[in-house]
């Protein structure tokens, strides 16, 4: 948020600003320590140096079959149709997961096609997130894994992979590369943060040739699940994703149109009657199969 200086007012000296700066710094630290600040990178996607560095310019593809094998084996469906992860079982297969991650970090992203690159970043993010959970397992929530500094919550800001000579964090992958490159709100249904409130981790990897169909399926699954949208007589309770990434989904009318596109007939009827947002919800509990 930019601040505009009123030139008609006397200039404030640096010495006068010092106490205010200290107070603001202390307040920020206290808020962060209390876990009350959502990641600052949830703001609008924008062109970035990283997105330009990794701009896909070719027609290459990537083999994600190894990751698909792991997902098919260790991601399980629950009674309500959502998915959970058998982390205990996946621990034994961590060498295969790490082999896949090593393979992905050797990929030259600029040689990929547009869709192949989109699938690549989603899979890399999801695979590394699984690996981070396994490294610290057992945990109650991914936010308990504090890798980004004293006041951090979660592993998202620490550089964890190296691609094309660039050390990248999970936040870099999601916000500075994927969101900045494609500006596609469906990306939020692809990235999985190992939490119950997050859109499902699929039982197969994303693939360039099928990416649009897969993201549409992921959007449909989340929108029609109560953790995505829960409709009532007085309006709807929706996932906090729609608040954190409001800039990606657009205006209230654009967001409503997005929901209606993926909603089943029953939900469509309820949204058409009343789509007023009453509350936002998100469950940060680990998405573990029990």
Domain ranges of the chain: 41-209
What is residue 285's DSSP assignment? B
290 residues of the chain, pLDDT tens digit each = 333 333 333 333 433 434 444 444 444 444 444 443 344 345 546 779 999 999 999 999 999 999 999 999 999 999 999 999 999 999 999 999 999 999 999 999 999 999 999 999 999 999 999 999 999 999 999 999 999 776 778 999 999 999 999 999 999 999 999 999 999 999 999 999 999 999 999 999 999 999 999 999 999 999 999 999 999 989 999 999 999 999 999 999 999 999 999 999 999 999 999 999 999 999 999 999 98
Of 72, 134, 65, nearest to 98 (Cα)?
134
Q: DSSP class of residue 211? A: H
Which H or E element spans position 128?
Answer: helix 114-136
User: Taking the CB of residue 43, how many other CB atoms lie within 10 A of it?
Assistant: 14
Q: Tell me the C-alpha to C-alpha distance, in Å, between residue 80 and each of 84, 186, 191, 221, 227.
A: 11, 22, 20, 11, 11
Q: What's the whole-model pTM score? A: 0.86
For residues 49 and 46, what is the distance between their CA atoms, to the nearest angstrom? 10
Distance CA 152, CA 273 (A): 41
């Amino acid at each position: 948020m930019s601040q505009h200086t009123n030139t008609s007012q006397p200039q404030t000296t640096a010495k006068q600003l010092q106490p205010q700066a200290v107070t603001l710094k202390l307040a920020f630290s206290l808020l962060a320590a209390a876990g009350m600040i959502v990641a600052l990178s949830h703001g609008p996607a924008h062109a970035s140096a990283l997105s330009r560095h990794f701009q896909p310019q070719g027609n290459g593809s990537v083999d994600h079959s190894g990751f698909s094998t792991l997902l098919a084996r260790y991601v399980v469906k629950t009674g309500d149709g959502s998915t959970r992860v058998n982390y205990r079982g996946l621990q034994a297969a961590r060498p295969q997961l790490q082999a896949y991650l090593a393979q992905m970090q050797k990929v030259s992203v600029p040689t990929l096609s547009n869709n192949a690159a989109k699938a690549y970043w989603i899979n890399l993010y999801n695979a590394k997130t699984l690996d981070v959970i396994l490294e610290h397992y057992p945990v109650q929530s991914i936010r308990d894994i504090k890798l980004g500094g004293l006041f951090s919550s979660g592993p998202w800001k620490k550089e964890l992979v190296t691609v094309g000579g660039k050390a990248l964090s999970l936040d870099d992958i999601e916000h500075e590369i994927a969101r900045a490159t494609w500006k596609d709100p469906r990306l939020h249904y692809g990235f999985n943060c190992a939490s119950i409130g997050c859109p499902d981790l699929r039982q197969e990897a994303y693939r360039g040739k099928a990416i649009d169909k897969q993201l549409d399926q992921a959007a449909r699954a989340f929108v029609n699940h109560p953790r995505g949208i829960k409709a009532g007589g007085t309006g709807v309770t929706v996932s906090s994703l729609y608040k954190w990434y409001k800039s990606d989904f657009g205006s209230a009318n654009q967001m409503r149109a997005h929901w209606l596109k993926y909603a089943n007939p029953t939900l469509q009827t309820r949204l058409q009657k009343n789509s007023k947002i009453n509350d936002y919800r998100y469950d940060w509990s680990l998405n573990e199969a029990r």
